[in-house]
Amino acid sequence: MCSPVAHTIRLPDELSGVHNVFHVSNLKSCLADESFIIPLEEIQVDEQLHFIEEPVEIMDREVKRLKRSRIPIVKVRWNSKRGPEFTWEREDHMKTKYPHLFEEAVPDNDA
């Protein structure tokens, strides 16, 4: 602790470019819970080191039925700073904005 309102924390080497002093309002007590761990390579930040939330993968698909139409929707897992987060989104919107999530895996021909 470097003052009553700021803490210095140890960061992994991969985060050496991040300042290691944080205001206490940005820190929360946390018990180790494996389900809330985000792999470091999934964390994206912009030039000002602001966290960028992006979709990680499509978890499920459904078709929402309305009176005269059907809308394909997908369940999306996001890399949220609050931990795992899932939302249902329109499939056409997600395909337009994040086409890489819909690329089919190339089969392994070595088998």
pLDDT averaged over 10-residue windows placed end to end, the chain, 111 residues:
79 81 79 66 65 83 93 89 81 93 60 44
In the prediction, which pLDDT does 109 show?
47
Q: What is the DSSP string of the chain?
A: --BTTEEE----GGGTTS--EEEGGG-------GGG---GGG-EE-TT--EE--EEEEEEEEEEE-SS-EEEEEEEEEEETTEEEEEEEEHHHHHHH-GGGGPPPPP-TT-
Domain assignment present for residue 33? The answer is no
User: Structural domain of residue 57, as residue ranges?
Assistant: 38-102
Taking the C-alpha atoms of residue 111 and residue 108, their distance in angstroms, rounded to an integer, is: 6
At 55, list the tokens. Answer: 């979709």
In the prediction, which pLDDT does 12 show?
81
What total of structural domains would you count in the chain? 1
In the prediction, which pLDDT does 57 show?
87
In the prediction, which pLDDT does 107 show?
47
Domain assignment present for residue 11? The answer is no
